[in-house]
Amino acid sequence: MNELPNPVFPISQIGLRGPQQPVLLYKPQRAAPLTRAGHTVHWARHQDEVRAAQRLRHAVFVGEMGARLNSPIPGHDVDVFDNFCEHLLVRDMADGQVIGTYRVLTPAQARRVGGTYSDTEFDLTRLRVFRDRMVELGRSCVHADHRHGGVILALWRALGDFMTRNRLDTMVGSASIPMSHLGVAGGDAAASIWRQVSATHLAPVQYQVQPRLPLPVDRLDGSLDVEPPALIKGYLRMGAKVLGPPAWDPDFNSADLPMLVRIADLPARARRHFLA
């Protein structure tokens, strides 16, 4: 098995840094694998495990959503950010198959690669106050046969442990709405979901961001009563704020909502699950 070509680089210790306080460096702290209800949760340790996550992503994004990916490896979803990210995996204990994944870009790695994936979709200038303690969550997906609460809950608990161990407090990312969601085609579902969530979960104006390629919500029917995707509903239950209107991602055939979750804003119930 090949080792990761890009090693895990240290992330900066968080804290007040005066002129007499040196910047200390440490590697991201990752817990040992966890076993829960028929599956295990762990962080990728070598390239073969990253490839397994990339195959699952390809199956979901291309096979199910119809994404058009410019990947250097057939059957895998690979992009420039992967080598800079930590990859979280859930495996089915029965056959060892990867059934769920997230990738996490730490602050130090975001600086090395020149930004986050979300920066390519949105102008995140207003989030600069969070950058030193902010991770980007991305490429979240779960195998079609395992889309129940247990897998996503296991992923979130591992993420919560990672955030606590590394003294990070802010998570940002894009939550996708397929352009044909629940049988509603053409972006009307995304426009309707944006109308719903902007009325109840919009971030304060000082943290709002703008899409680089906006979904033209004003020209779509935003009056439909349509349920958001499960991941968006889960984020909202965790106290997430929607940072602005959706971007249109033609490659992934989706509308992407920019979302932010802060540990301090977790409701009591979500805190018990996320920080268990």
- Asked if residue 134 lies in contact with residue 166, where contact means CB atoms within 8 angstroms, the answer is no
**In angstroms, what CA-CA distances link 229 with 119, 177, 265?**
23, 7, 22
Confidence of residue 150 (pLDDT cuts 50, 70, 90): confident
Predicted local confidence at residue 137, as pLDDT: 97
**pLDDT for position 2:** 36
pLDDT-derived band at 22 (thresholds 50, 70, 90) equals very low
- pLDDT at residue 34, rounded to an integer: 61
- Residue 19 scores a pLDDT above 60: no
The reported pLDDT for the residue numbered 5 is 36
For residue 185, how many other CB atoms are within 10 A of its CB?
10
pLDDT at 120 over 60: yes
- Per-domain residue ranges for the chain? 32-274
For residue 41, the model assigns a pLDDT of 94
In the predicted model, what is the mean pLDDT of residues 180-204? 91
Average pLDDT along the chain: 86
Segment among 11-20, 77-86, 96-105 with least mean pLDDT: 11-20
Q: For residue 85, what pLDDT is reported?
A: 97
* pLDDT grade for 271, boundaries at 50, 70 and 90: confident
Cα→Cα distances 248→136, 190, 202, 214, 252, Å: 19, 10, 19, 6, 9
Sort 100 into a burial class: Cβ within 10 Å, 0-12 / 13-18 / 19+: buried
pLDDT digits (tens, 9 = 90+) for 209-257: 999 999 999 999 999 999 999 889 989 999 999 999 999 999 988 999 9
12 close to 23: Cβ distance less than 8 angstroms: yes
Per-residue pLDDT at 29: 67
- What is the CATH number that goes with domain 32-274? 3.40.630.30
Residue 118: its pLDDT value, please? Answer: 97
Per-residue pLDDT band at 185 (split at 50, 70, 90): confident
For residues 196 and 219, give the distance between their C-alpha atoms in angstroms, rounded to a whole number: 16
Range from 16-30, 108-122, 161-175, 178-192 carrying the lowest mean pLDDT: 16-30
pLDDT of residue 20: 32
Residue-level pLDDT at 16: 28
Segment 181-192 shows an average pLDDT of 85
pLDDT score at 28:
66
